[in-house]
């Protein structure tokens, strides 16, 4: 929210008092004096009034996880292990998923406590491609390539998928690049040809690639460059 609104919401202050405090230079955001009430502050911002700490500010956290098959992309589940069960981190419940993977899908999963960042990472704008390796029950015909590139009509949602890029790597193995994330989209696209997906693995989201050193179930913090890519 805006800094002036944050201040005026405090029990001991009102809007006029907040403006006066800002004008007099008594408010600091992340150690810097702020006179601008329009400054956007978040849960990660440290806010001080004179020597009084009004908000300590949380540390923003960003992780990539190599999700294994059989683990649920959820914060809790009555039957299966969840991705949070794989994290040896304080306050794991403070984290949420930036995009999900099905129970039987493996690969790159992003977790954070930064809601604005995760919204950018998963925004349906087509700016950030998601790349998957796909294994199928039957051979993949070259006819799939043009159909995927044109987009497929999904009757349930009454929409046509964005153009997708399919690279056939072997008779039953391909790399698929999507620019959106519809419900069971990959399985439904191959299902258009009555070809069952028997293996699905996400290798990247935008510029973030799954670290090849991470075994299934392992994770690491994102680098500054990876965080800045969204």
Domain ranges, ordered by start, for the chain: 3-55, 62-228
Distances (CA, A) of 186 to 70, 103, 109: 18, 14, 17
Residue 102 known to be catalytic: yes
Contact yes or no for 37/22 (Cβ under 8 A): yes
User: Picking from 118-127, 144-153, 205-214, 220-229, which range would have the lowest pLDDT averaged per residue?
Assistant: 118-127
Q: For 62-228, CATH number?
A: 3.30.2350.10
Give residue 199's pLDDT band: very low, low, confident or very high (50, 70, 90): very high
Give residue 41's pLDDT band: very low, low, confident or very high (50, 70, 90): confident
Give residue 130's pLDDT band: very low, low, confident or very high (50, 70, 90): very high
Closest CA to 198 of 168, 222, 174, 181: 174
Residue 137, pLDDT above cutoff 90: yes
Query: What are the pLDDT digits (tens) for 95-121?
Result: 999 989 999 999 999 999 998 899 899
Give residue 156's pLDDT band: very low, low, confident or very high (50, 70, 90): confident
Q: Which CATH superfamily is domain 3-55 in?
A: RNA-binding S4 domain (3.10.290.10)
Among residues 85, 91, 94, 102, the one annotated as catalytic is 102
pLDDT on residue 50? 92
């Amino acid at each position: 929210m805006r800094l002036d609104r944050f201040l005026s919401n405090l029990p001991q202050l009102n809007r006029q008092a907040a403006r006066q405090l800002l004008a007099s230079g008594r408010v600091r955001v992340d150690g810097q004096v702020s006179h601008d009430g329009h400054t956007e502050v978040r849960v990660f911002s440290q806010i001080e009034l004179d020597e009084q700490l009004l908000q300590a500010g949380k540390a923003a956290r960003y992780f990539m996880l190599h999700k294994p098959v059989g683990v649920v992309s959820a914060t809790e589940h009555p039957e299966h292990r969840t991705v949070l069960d794989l994290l040896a981190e304080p306050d794991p419940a403070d984290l949420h998923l930036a995009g999900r993977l099905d129970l039987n899908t493996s690969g790159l999963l992003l977790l954070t406590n930064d809601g604005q960042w995760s919204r950018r990472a998963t925004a349906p704008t087509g700016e950030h491609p998601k790349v998957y390796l796909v294994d199928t029950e039957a051979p993949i015909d070259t006819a799939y390539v043009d159909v995927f590139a044109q987009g497929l009509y999904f009757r349930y949602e009454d929409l046509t998928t964005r153009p997708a890029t399919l690279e056939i790597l072997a008779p039953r193995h391909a790399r698929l690049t999507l620019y959106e994330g519809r419900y069971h989209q990959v399985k439904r696209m191959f299902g258009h040809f009555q070809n069952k997906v028997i293996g699905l693995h996400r290798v990247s989201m935008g510029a973030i690639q799954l670290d090849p050193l991470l075994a299934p179930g392992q994770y690491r913090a994102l680098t500054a460059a990876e965080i800045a890519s969204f």
